[in-house]
Structure 1
Amino acid sequence: MSAMKVWKMNGAGNAFAVFDARESSFTPDAEKIRSIAAEMKADQVMSIELDPAADAFLRIWNSSGEQVGACGNGTRAVAHLLLEEAGADRVAIRTSADLLKGERAAGGLVTVDMGEPRMGWEEIPLEEKMDVRGVDVRIGPMDKPYLSKPAVVSMGNPHAVFFVEDVDAYNIPQIGPLVEWHPLFPEGTNVGFAQVIDRETIRLRVWERGAGLTKACGTGACAALVCAARAGKTDRKAKLILDGGDLIIEWRGSDNHVMMTGPVEVEMSFEI
């Protein structure tokens, strides 16, 4: 068996441990994933695998050990590796949620086509039929909650987005877990706290399902823009300001696809 290359990367501060499993076997259990994530200080662990109908298959685990279908910033990071490796302008990456396309953008940035947002209550999924523009989730006293009615959408993984006046006024590590496994979300949910600054700018912090509060969340940024634009709070293209950096999200009217553009950094690489 040949040596396996490993990268520590980040996309706007969202940290990843990436294993090249195209020529080697990588079949970690949940305990091993948690160990890798702790040792490499990674929000997600990912393996690049062979795919007969794409440039690669990307398998994704959250730092808590469970396998998930989507990670937008992680897909951008791997797209960067594959673009550099092939000397190409575009690559196709399959995940268990979708086939995503990555391409080079100006200024050394990388864009990933995240596909169409999923807005049906059963697609997110919710436990019961409900208006996805504001679901019945309340934090605080039942008669006077200080957070309520998050908008929900799936970007290959579920997201609940609260629109707030000041994102820094909330104890996200305390609130996040209450919403993450609320009974309305049978598969759990990511939880976004979005402050609309103007029609082209959103300040966002995200409690990620299975990872906690992270410096950035690509699918969370996509979800926040979609929910904001759908509610008429912003235009269909905006800058998302996250703790680790900025992402540009565009929800195209031409084909309903969400495009995510942002930076990628390779912090280190080694072989095992």
Structure 2
Amino acid sequence: MLLHFTKMHGLGNDFVMVDLVTQRARLTDAHVRELSDRRFGIGFDQLLVVEPPRDPDMDFRYRIFNADGSEVENCGNGARCFARFVRDQRLTHKNEIHVETSGGPLVLTIQHDGQVRVDMGRPRFTPSALPFDAPGDQPLHELNVDGEVLEISVVSMGNPHAVLEVENVESAPVARLGPSIEAHPRFPHKVNVGFMQVVSPSEIRLRVFERGSGETLACGTGACAAVASGIRQGLLKSPVKVHLPGGELSIEWPDPEASLIMVGPATRVFDGRVALN
């Protein structure tokens, strides 16, 4: 069968969007892996699927699949693309869109300037929320990685994140430590790994090694996790500008009891059709 899709990106973090509200298809893990191949398929970091909601109070159900075929709970850059996609496809005329994910509900707002504002909910730091094998909640945890003891913070933004502060993101050992931390046995469901350089209390630089996809040009939930961790440790103060390899995001978290807010762009690249084997 022919599957209609749209290619989009959020700061270079690229997605294939599939509308399963007006068309029908059964996407398997093998389909996702084939389509994600950048030489023999379409190529993407994640596949995002729009489905009818299960909850009548929601507008859509939002599902996220990594390039390796694994389904994950949340994706911040993808959420912004999701909002633009359902509007562009005329699946809704709302500016404020309520979506259900396996990581919890999200509220997406398309602003007048075209940027998308995402209410990401409250960060969760308890190890069981990720999950992470640790005796209790604390700002920093020691993690032994190949004989090297690192200090990391752990944050759930609906999906699991480990954040490591570094002096310089350009020279940070992302390729070496990223895979080792991602698959560390203390993270039974694996983890996204952020390498954060604090520039000032209102500005950071960040690289993220994403679970199931490797290093990407941008990670929205990773930016949120890094800022939440930095604010909790007293290193940052809301709002915070996050510089990622693909561009900038603005993160607001003025109060520990408040939702964390992410604002950034979403870009449509092209539409196409692909044959599913």
Q: Same fold (TM over 0.5)?
A: yes
Residue 107 of structure 1: which of 82, 94, 113 is its match?
Answer: 113
Matched position secondary structure for 2:107: strand
Partner of 1:28: 27
Contact 1:225 1:237 in 2 (8 A): no
Residue 80 of structure 1: which of 70, 80, 84 is its match?
Answer: 84
Contact 1:4 1:21 in 2 (8 A): no
Q: Residues of 2 paired with 1:170 and 1:138: CA distance?
A: 17
Q: Residues of 1 paired with 2:168 and 2:256: CA distance?
A: 33
Matched position secondary structure for 2:170: helix
Residue identity matched to 1:79: A
Residue identity matched to 2:164: F
Partner of 1:12: 11
1:169 positional shift:
1.2
1:124 positional shift:
1.5
Matched position secondary structure for 1:79: helix
Matched position secondary structure for 1:108: coil
Map of 1:1-272 to 2, 5 A cutoff? 4-38=3-37, 39-51=41-53, 52-84=56-88, 85=90, 86-139=92-145, 141-142=147-148, 145=149, 148-253=150-255, 255-271=257-273
Matched position secondary structure for 2:34: helix
Structure-2 change in CA distance of 1:132 and 1:157 (3 Å): farther
Contact 2:126 2:136 in 1 (8 A): no
Q: Which runs of 5+ in 1 are unaligned?
A: none
Q: Kindly, what percent of the aligned residue pairs are identical?
A: 36
Q: Which runs of 5+ in 2 are unaligned?
A: none
Structure-2 change in CA distance of 1:159 and 1:188 (3 Å): same
Structure-2 change in CA distance of 1:115 and 1:37 (3 Å): same
Structure-2 change in CA distance of 1:40 and 1:78 (3 Å): same
1:157 positional shift:
0.7
Matched position secondary structure for 1:239: strand
Q: Residues of 2 paired with 1:26 and 1:130: CA distance?
A: 44
Contact 2:3 2:25 in 1 (8 A): no
Matched position secondary structure for 2:221: helix
Q: Residues of 1 paired with 2:147 and 2:103: CA distance?
A: 37
Deviation per CA, 1:73-123: give whole Å up to 9, x if none: 101101112244333221111111111011123532111111111111111
Contact 2:157 2:224 in 1 (8 A): yes
Residue identity matched to 1:65: G
Deviation per CA, 1:10-38: give whole Å up to 9, x if none: 01111001100013333222121111111
Q: TM-score, normalised by structure 1?
A: 0.93
Matched position secondary structure for 2:113: helix
Matched position secondary structure for 2:97: strand
Matched position secondary structure for 1:40: coil
Contact 2:123 2:260 in 1 (8 A): yes
